[in-house]
Amino acid sequence: MRWFFSIRREAPSGPEPTPVWERPLAQAPYFVLDLETSGFSPARDKILTVACATFAGASPDPEDSLYAVVRHEDVADVPAHIWELTGLSPQDVRDGEPLEHALRRALELGAGRVWVAHHIRHDLGFLQRAADALWRLRLRPLAVDTAVVGQVLVRAPRPLTLDEACEWLGVPVAGRHRADADVHMTAAVWRREMELCARLGLQTVKDVIDWVSARATG
């Protein structure tokens, strides 16, 4: 099982805490994230926004959150439909903050938590390329993909889109393709998926990851 700490912390005194992957689903600490990018290729495309929030177990209220527009001086290669889809403008991006600052803040929030995202391979691909370029850092988070969890729960032939997952679980859709709104929808999807997983007898984060890994296809 892969794991990642972005910053070094002093070991707490007293008994060793229970690893997050062994904690009950409704008690584990979560880090929900979403990126808006200019395309699908980490090698060619840009991270435009970074959004994330931390949650304690199944609480609907975030403990902390971050939304950052990432600075790029040259945006000529960003397709026109991306501006329309994300609600961003070229000037928003030119006025954004450096990727290093945004990424460092996000990784500090994610340290020691279970990472949750919808289609997390997309987000991790971009984050890994940036972390490697900036710090030669290898990201190894304990991660849950709500798209794949949904696929397995409904026995779908492919991972669910966020719109499909929201419709299936009764999560209101608002501000779609805005990273901060997508984070809150993903968190709501995960809370409801947790309930369904618990009904199947899956008690911990590790239980869910192992169960999904054995059944996911595509």
Confidence check: pLDDT of 151 > 80: yes
Q: Give tens-digit pLDDT for 167-198.
A: 999 999 998 989 999 999 999 999 999 999 99
86 assigned to some structural domain = yes
Predicted local confidence at residue 32, as pLDDT: 98
Q: Give tens-digit pLDDT for 29-70.
A: 999 999 999 999 999 999 999 999 999 999 999 999 999 999
* Crossing angle of helices 99-110 and 120-135, rounded to 10°: 120
Indicate the average pLDDT of the chain: 93
Listed residue (187, 169, 197, 215) closest to 65, CA to CA: 187
183 assigned to some structural domain = yes
15 assigned to some structural domain = no
Pairing state of beta strands 29-37 and 47-56?
Answer: antiparallel
181 assigned to some structural domain = yes
18 assigned to some structural domain = no
Q: Phi/psi of residue 151, each to 5°?
A: -55, -45
Confidence check: pLDDT of 4 > 90: no
Confidence of residue 9 (pLDDT cuts 50, 70, 90): very low
2 assigned to some structural domain = no
202 assigned to some structural domain = yes
Confidence check: pLDDT of 12 > 80: no
Total tally of structural domains belonging to the chain: 1
Predicted local confidence at residue 2, as pLDDT: 36
Predicted local confidence at residue 10, as pLDDT: 46
Per the structure, the complete domain to which residue 71 belongs is given by: 23-215
Predicted local confidence at residue 14, as pLDDT: 65
Answer for the pair 101, 69: CB distance below 8 angstroms, yes or no: no
Answer for the pair 179, 34: CB distance below 8 angstroms, yes or no: yes
* DSSP reduced 3-state for 116: strand
8 assigned to some structural domain = no
Listed residue (51, 85, 42) closest to 70, CA to CA: 51
Answer for the pair 117, 123: CB distance below 8 angstroms, yes or no: yes
Q: Phi/psi of residue 30, each to 5°?
A: -120, 150
The token pair at 148 is 């794949």
Which CATH number fits the domain that encloses residue 108? Answer: 3.30.420.10
